């Protein structure tokens, strides 16, 4: 006999751009919103009864409607506002999960002066939040950044590793270190200043990556995590996923040329993947 296990449903990739008009400037945001709901939906699966199903199209419309009246300045605040509305207005819903990704638009500077209404995309990375709340409970927020693409041309080595009969990798004492990091942090404080925490963590990660004399991706990852914890006492732990995006020295010997760490071939597949959580 079959029975229904854990289930949820929602709307994914709701695209939203927002202009907030001030007297002296405009602010611009571009968000991608995912909504997932859990609750009393069994009859829709087992009895073809949709009487407790909020259409996913309605969820999409709810994103736009809540955004219209929202005063939220961060994706964390908007995620809580949207989730609260869905929980408060749907008695059949027991848990709301909201994920938001924000593109890195930043104000354009023209002749050294920030333009009030013009923006440029600052990078490929996305600011993120995953917010979850059960009805009657508090919000659990995990903020982060996806696709933080950084590279250094020195202060990176890899030696002393395990070698067996299948090892062909040669030790390196001065190599390119490139990664496209995913970072997630969980909060210790109940309602921190999300924007300030994000700025502090991002600055600490970049500063540590730049200065660090790396003996491996693992070595740098751990010290970057420590730097994030030191910079932001508001967080309890941080998880970093750092693929090692290789740049392989090109063999120019068939052309009668040497290659003193000058010409490389960038390779992103396959790549090493290193992940760890650093906590207090």
Catalytic residues: 11, 56, 246
181 neighbors 123 (Cβ within 8 angstroms): no
Residue linked to tokens 């859990």: 38
C-alpha–C-alpha distance, residues 150 and 189, integer Å: 29
Q: Residue 43: in which H helix or E strand, if any?
A: helix 42-46
Contact 4, 58 (CB under 8 A): no
Cα 173 from chain centre: 31
Q: Are 20 and 71 in contact (CB under 8 A)?
A: no
> What phi and psi, each to the nearest 5 degrees, are found at residue 227?
-65, -40
CB 243 within 8 A of CB 266: no
């Amino acid at each position: 006999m079959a029975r229904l296990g854990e289930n949820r449903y929602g709307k994914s990739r709701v695209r939203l751009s927002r202009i907030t008009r001030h007297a002296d400037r405009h602010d611009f945001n571009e968000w991608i919103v995912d909504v997932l709901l859990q609750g009393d939906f069994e009859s829709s699966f087992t009895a073809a009864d949709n009487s407790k199903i909020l259409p996913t199209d309605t969820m999409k419309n709810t994103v736009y409607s809540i955004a219209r009246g929202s005063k939220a300045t961060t994706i964390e605040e908007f995620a809580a506002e949207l989730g609260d509305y869905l929980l408060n207005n749907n008695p059949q819903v027991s848990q709301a999960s909201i994920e938001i990704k924000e593109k890195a638009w930043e104000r354009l500077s023209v002749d050294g002066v920030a333009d009030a209404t013009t923006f440029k995309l600052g990078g490929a990375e996305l600011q993120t939040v995953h917010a979850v709340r059960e009805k009657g409970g508090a919000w659990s927020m995990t903020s982060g950044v996806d696709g933080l693409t950084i590279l250094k041309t020195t202060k990176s080595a890899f030696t002393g590793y395990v070698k067996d009969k299948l090892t062909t990798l040669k030790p390196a004492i001065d190599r390119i270190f490139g990664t496209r990091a995913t970072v997630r942090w969980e909060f210790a404080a109940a309602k921190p200043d999300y924007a300030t925490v994000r700025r502090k963590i991002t600055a600490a990660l970049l500063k540590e990556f730049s200065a660090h004399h790396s003996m491996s991706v693992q070595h740098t990852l751990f010290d970057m995590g420590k730097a994030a914890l030191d910079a932001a006492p508001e967080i309890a732990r941080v998880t970093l996923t750092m693929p090692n995006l290789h740049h392989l020295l090109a063999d120019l010997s068939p052309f009668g040329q040497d290659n003193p760490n000058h010409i490389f071939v960038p390779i992103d597949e396959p790549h090493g993947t290193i992940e760890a959580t650093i906590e207090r």
